[in-house]
Amino acid sequence: MSLRVGITGSSGFIGRNIAKALKDKGYAINHFNRPGQDLLNSDPSSLREFIKNSDIIIHAAAINRGTDSEVISGGVVATNNLARAIVDSKSAAKIVFISSVQADLDNVYGRSKNLAESLLADLSKRQGNQVSIFRVPNVFGENGRPFYNSVVHTFCHQIANNQRPKILVDKKTQFIYIQDLSKIISKEVDIARKNKLFLKTIRPANEVMVSDLLRLINSFKNIKDPSKLKSKFHRDLYRTYLSFQSYNKKLEIKSDERGKLVETFKIPDTGQVFYSTTKPNVTRGNHYHTRKKEVFCVIEGKAKIRLRNRKTGQIEEHVVDGEQPEAIEMKIGWTHNIKNIGKKEMKLLVWVNEIFNPEDPDTFSEEV
């Protein structure tokens, strides 16, 4: 029988990512989440049922931001309630606790984590449960909560929304990508350790000044080739930044006697995609490019695409139909056009390998 994994706080940023990693490995996940299930105010029978149905409990529930009493309650009181319920249920479940590198610091959050660790260590000593404690650094990743989980999320949110971030304290900070943390925790589920109590401080190589972090994330606005980012850490940060960008916007429709044209996506160093509509018996094009490559795909209607090699005079013709879409390349240096030969409006999808620049369009008129 496969192990049943219970996760407290599985709707939170860290918990939900760990839950996904374990679900992808085939584990049955037992959730314990607010507001319906709360380690501070939950019905005791609900907590006992959760423990009963869990062979391993990953304790990820916490309050990262709030008043001192809220942070202490979310860390210490919640962990105490969980530990007492485990004792009352006489459960032998392994406990994996998501603690923090701040557990050794003299601040409210750090002290709350340290006390929670002590409660679970005492549980292990008294009842023999295997307890694994992971002290993790600043955790970041896609779709995190700004002004709560990580300064990375706050900076990404602010920069993506054209706001000006402020640095409150500029210091060296260690960061770990959420997917990397999820892998570490999911591996721990499979490990049977000799010692009943295991404590590990995760110290990734990703250590950077907060001011340097801000400069790096700010540079993502104008990045041309993400594949050239020099490290995994930078690529992980870039993916996180992208999750905060909103591409929702109304697109401009350019209309004339031939039909309509809409530029949909523009991606630096990748090009752009647009679509057009063309009325029956109307021809578009009759031009060539010296560096730009285009690919046409008729997605509705019928059309004839003609190309001519300007050097040799060679002619190519393609009769295409949206019922059986084909991708047809418009070769560099070949003048080309497309004609709607159907009785209804023709719809054309086009990819171009560079973004259109009206000051340097690389488009020269010439009949096929």
- CA dist 154 → 93, 125, 150, 186, 244 (Å): 36, 40, 7, 27, 10
**CA 85 – CA 350 distance, rounded (Å):** 61
Q: How far apart are CA 289 and CA 106, in angstroms?
A: 66
Tokens of 129: 């449960």
Peptide bond preceding 361 in cis form (omega within 30 of 0): no
DSSP 302: E
**238 a catalytic residue:** no
What DSSP letter does each residue of 174-204 carry, written as one string? EEEEHHHHHHHHHHHHT---SSSEEEEE---
Nearest-angstrom CA–CA distance, 253 and 259: 10
Residues in the chain: 368
Q: What element of type H or E holds 68?
A: helix 68-72
Cβ contacts of residue 224 below 8 Å, gap of 6+? Answer: 268, 269
182: which 2 tokens? 């999820």
The CA R_g of the chain, rounded to the nearest whole Å, is 29
Candidates 27, 109, 177, 288; catalytic one: 109
The 8-class DSSP code of residue 107 comes to S
Classify residue 72 by its DSSP letter: H
Pair of tokens at residue 121? 């260590």
Q: Tokens 């990580």 identify what position?
A: 150
β-pairing verdict for 346-352 and 294-300: antiparallel
Bridge partners (DSSP) of residue 266 are: 272
For residue 175, give the nearest of 246, 101, 103 by alpha carbon. 101
Residue 248 backbone phi and psi in degrees, to 5? -75, 115
Residue 32 half-sphere exposure toward CB, CA atoms < 13 A: 30
Please give the positions annotated as active site.
109
